[in-house]
Structures are given as structure tokens and as C-alpha cells.
Structure 1
Amino acid sequence: MGGRRAHDGGAVLTHLGGPTVLVEVHGWRFLTDPTFDPPGRYAFGWGTGSRKRSGPALTPGEVGAVDAVLLSHDHHADNLDDLGRAFLERTQVVVTTGPGARRLRRAGTGPVVGLAPGDSVLLRAPGRPPVRVTATPCRHGPRFSRPFAGAVVGFALAWDTQRHGVLWITGDTVLHPALERVARELVVDTVVLHAGAVRFPVTGPLRWTMDAGEAVRLCALARPRAVVPVHVEGWSHFTEGPEALDRAFAAAPGDLAARLRWPPAPGAPWRTMEP
């Protein structure tokens, strides 16, 4: 797993399934939203639930140690499950939301850095370039859903040798004005996209993540060199899968369709873009 490394400006991604991605760059190893439980039924609170349909491509032991976990939110099992919580003890630092950091500290997890949208932390290690992690805004549902859905953030990763912009992990979100503003402001090389149009029977037509149309509009604003969808299937609460994204990007104006990059088989490392 650790043999392939990114060169200047690039990163190597390994998609494990769901939102869980290993990001390797200049000796750094970051893991997003660790989910390692086998398939099964999970409750998300407020009467909502979902069934996980596929397990991870790699076990925690196969992933090995990481430098940091980038946790968009801690309170939904499709972003942090039981084995994912155990994995947090194997990392040097967890970067997440402010409320999530407080919950994890109370549970004995540490060290944990809590960020609000716009906040950043500079990660340093001997012999490696520093990496700045900046939290980006998410709204995990319709307007006024924050009390029910909780705090969520995305992450923009920047390092000095980047030539074409940041690596942006959107986190679970719908399209909303704060996210649109950030998409216009960021210079993005690769966006790791969470979509899937999440719905639950108990909440009817309300949608809790981007659908394919919103994903296209976000990427049209950000103009990344590569769009990498990762959290669009594998659970019963997704109502749109890869086919919906393929259709929407194919119909998008300009060259946006050419920027869509589906990960290879889960567990296979790959370089998203050449510098």
C-alpha cells in the first residue's frame, strides 16, 4: 500500500468505499471519514436509518498507520462507524468539526482539532512539506436542518508544491450559498465529491446531500481539473448512483464531462492528475 507516492503537485488516492479515501502526498498519509464495519443496518437518529450494502476494500490493518484522519462529521455511521472509531486511536491527530471534537474528546479520543468553516490548521512533520487543512462549509440537508443534521465540514488541502490548486473534499452537503461562494473562491485541482441525493422515507422528499444536478453546478463554479465521486453508493439511503452523475456530467456544457474521474476498483491506489 505505501509503495506508491505522489510527486510534486499530485496526490495518490485509494478509495476504500463510501466516503473513506486514503490520500498520500509527499510522505503524508491522510484518511477521510473512516468506515470499516461490514454491511448491516444502522440508525442515524430522528427516525432515520439505512442499510450498508458493501464493506470496505481494505481492513484497518491493511491501511496501516496514518498521520491524520479528516473527519467531516462524527455522528453518522456512514461517515464514522464502530471500527472507524477504533481506528481513530491509531492516528496522530483527528481534524473534524468543533462539536465533533468535543464529543470525541469526551470519549477519550485525542488529540483532536475542531474547525469551523474557514478555520485551518497547519500540519507539520520532519522531512515533509507542511500541509494546510482548511475547513469548508457544508449543509447536510435543507435550510434550517442544522439542529437535526448536525455540524459537517469539508476540507481543502494545500501544500507548497501544488501547481494547479488545492485538493478539495466536499463532505456531505447540499448545494447552498456558502458552498457556492467557496467554489468560486478556491483554485481547485481535484475535488473529491460526495453526492448521491440522500433521502429517507421518514423525511419524504427532503434531500440531505447533493443530487447530480447540484454536483454539476458546484463543479461548474469550481472548475477543477478532476472530479472524483466517492460517496454515492453502497448504502440504501442513496437515491442516485454513478449512472445519474454520468448522465448529468455528459449533459453539462463545456468540457466538464471530461473532468469526471471515477476511481478504479476499491482498494487500488491511483494518481488523479499529472502535475
Structure 2
Amino acid sequence: MTKARFTHIGGPTVLIEFGGWRLLTDPTFDPPGRTYSFGWGTSSRKLTGPAVTAAGLPPVDAVLLSHVHHGDNLDDAGRALLPDAGTIVTTASGARSLPAARGLSAGRTTRLEAPGRPAIDITATPCRHGPPLSRPIVGDVIGFSLTWPGQEHGPLWITGDTVYHRALRRAAAGIRPGTVLLHLGGVGFPLTGPLRYTMTARQAVRLCEAIAPRTVLPVHYEGWQHFRQGRDGIERDLRRAPERIRDLFHWLPPGTADHVLL
């Protein structure tokens, strides 16, 4: 059994510590107030800053970067820490813009190894960061399934920015994750009306009913103008879900390490 520490820094940014490893997801450390362009006439303003500054981080062994082209997943301060962050794992297209990054497409695997630590196999999982046929507009995005010796409850799965879709459901069923770091928020823009670009709570319930994880850790649902469903909205929808689904959700306190058994 692995006891891991999760520190939610803000948005999609989480420091994960276990077995001597320190992994950082989607580094975002810019202060609030700036508006970021996401292309095709869409943009969003950052409303809250990180609960931990980049300078306050311990040394990081690897960064798991779901995509490189949106400021709410990789901002200027996050990009600045990459050269000192050890291994970077991201999309195949994104790796071409980052020196020495490992690029993965969905279904491909890379391994992290270091003396005295468990080897971690990282497999990219499919994401669709928007409605059907939106990939040419929104770009390549991946999630990450992490396995290592001693896991009792199944892999750790970081969904990345995605809506609920068939390839995601199939991949999740194959992974059978024990713990899910779940990107939510129901992202939307005035320009695109009712279309959503990340999962809503109702979609998350459908996913959890399909794969029955042990623990769900919601992230990336707050701190930005483009989120259409914050924690209150997520919890309101969860109240309509079966109790066994509601009980899976565990909210990470911002900036404070929380322990989870993996």
C-alpha cells in the first residue's frame, strides 16, 4: 500500500509525493488578474493565485503536463520552472516545443526510474477538450495513468482537461483506477454558448458509475472566469447522485498536504 500526499496548489496544479517521488501536474503559478487568450476568439481571466508559490515548492522530479498551449494549464511562471523540474511528460506535439520533454500519445507509456524509488509507468490516456470534432481547434491533450509496485487499490489516474466521451470511458474501464484526480469545471465561453470543454459534475457521475474508483479528488474547477460550474454547483449535482458516488469525492484543501492511500 502506498500513502501519498496531495497538495492542491490551484486550478489543475497538484504536488503529488510518494515513495521518494515528487510529481507536479500542469504548473500554473502566475498571480491573478491577467486575461489569457485560448485562441479562436476565446479567453479567460485568472481570478485567484496559487496557494503555494513556485519559489515555495520543494525540488520536483517530474512534471505531468496535459497540454502546453492553454494558460490555465501552463502559464509563464509554470513554464519558467520547467528547466529545473526534472523529467517533463506531455503530448507528442507539445514535447516538440519543450527541450528534452517526453512526448506521448494516448496509449503510449514511459517510465520514471531512480535509485531507491519505485519505478513509475506513466501511460497517456485520451482526452477530448471540447465537443465532437473540436480537436483541430482546441489542440492535443492527454491524461495520465500511473502505476508502480505496491499499489493496492489500482492506478492513479489524472484525467486532464476533457469532457466525458466514449474513448475516455473505454480507457478508464481498462485502467480501473483506484484514485482519480478529476478535472471538472464545465468550461464554457460566451462565444460558444452551451458547449462545454471540460467535464461537468453530471458527466463525472456517469464516469464514476462506469468505473467505480475508490477515491475522486476534484481539481481545476475554480479560480478562472471560464469555469461554469464551481464547487457549489458540483456539490449541488452530486446531491442528486447515489450516495455511493457522493462518498467517493474528497476535496483537497488548497495549499495543505492531504494524505490518500493508493
Give the TM-score normalised by the residue count of structure 1. Answer: 0.92
| Counterpart pick for 2:233 among 244, 259, 266 | 244
Distance of 1:22 and 1:150 partners within structure 2? 25
| Counterpart pick for 1:89 among 63, 83, 86 | 83
Q: Which moved more, 1:67-76 or 1:210-219?
A: 210-219
Matching residue of 1:50 = 44
How many angstroms does 1:176 deviate by?
0.7
Output aligned runs, 1:217-236, within 5 Å.
Answer: 217-236=206-225
How many angstroms does 1:61 deviate by?
1.6
The answer (yes or no) to whether the contact 1:261–1:272 under 8 Å persists in 2 is: no
Matching residue of 1:260 = 249
Distance of 1:272 and 1:261 partners within structure 2? 10
The answer (yes or no) to whether the contact 2:82–2:88 under 8 Å persists in 1 is: yes
How many angstroms does 1:57 deviate by?
0.9
How many angstroms does 1:184 deviate by?
1.6
The answer (yes or no) to whether the contact 1:190–1:228 under 8 Å persists in 2 is: yes
Matching residue of 1:120 = 109
How many angstroms does 1:153 deviate by?
0.3
Distance of 2:69 and 2:211 partners within structure 1? 28
Distance of 2:243 and 2:28 partners within structure 1? 36
Output aligned runs, 1:154-233, within 5 Å.
Answer: 154-233=143-222
Q: Which moved more, 1:141-150 or 1:219-228?
A: 219-228
How many angstroms does 1:249 deviate by?
2.2
The answer (yes or no) to whether the contact 1:9–1:164 under 8 Å persists in 2 is: no
Matching residue of 2:260 = 272
The answer (yes or no) to whether the contact 2:2–2:19 under 8 Å persists in 1 is: no
SS, match of residue 43 in structure 2 = strand
Q: Which moved more, 1:201-210 or 1:247-256?
A: 247-256
Letter matched to residue 258 of structure 2? W
Matching residue of 2:136 = 147
How many angstroms does 1:254 deviate by?
4.9
The answer (yes or no) to whether the contact 1:249–1:260 under 8 Å persists in 2 is: no
Which deviations, in whole Å up to 9, do the C-alpha atoms of 1:143-184 show, x marking residues without a partner? Answer: 000010000000011111100101111000001100011122
Letter matched to residue 13 of structure 2? T
Matching residue of 2:121 = 132
Do structure 1's residue 65 and structure 2's residue 55 form an aligned pair?
no
The answer (yes or no) to whether the contact 1:72–1:153 under 8 Å persists in 2 is: yes
Distance of 1:94 and 1:9 partners within structure 2? 23
Q: What are the ranges of 5 or more consecutive residues in structure 1 without an aligned counterpart? A: 1-7
Do structure 1's residue 10 and structure 2's residue 3 form an aligned pair?
yes
Distance of 1:249 and 1:10 partners within structure 2? 27
The answer (yes or no) to whether the contact 2:29–2:75 under 8 Å persists in 1 is: yes
How many angstroms does 1:193 deviate by?
0.6
Q: What are the ranges of 5 or more consecutive residues in structure 2 without an aligned counterpart? A: none
- The count of residues paired between Structure 1 and Structure 2 equals 261
How many angstroms does 1:186 deviate by?
1.7
Query: What is the RMSD of the two structures over their aligned residues, measured on CA atoms?
Result: 1.1
The answer (yes or no) to whether the contact 1:190–1:226 under 8 Å persists in 2 is: yes
How many angstroms does 1:22 deviate by?
0.3
SS, match of residue 148 in structure 1 = helix
How many angstroms does 1:64 deviate by?
2.5
Distance of 2:260 and 2:185 partners within structure 1? 21
Distance of 2:28 and 2:230 partners within structure 1? 19
- Runs of 4 or more above 2 Å deviation: 247-250
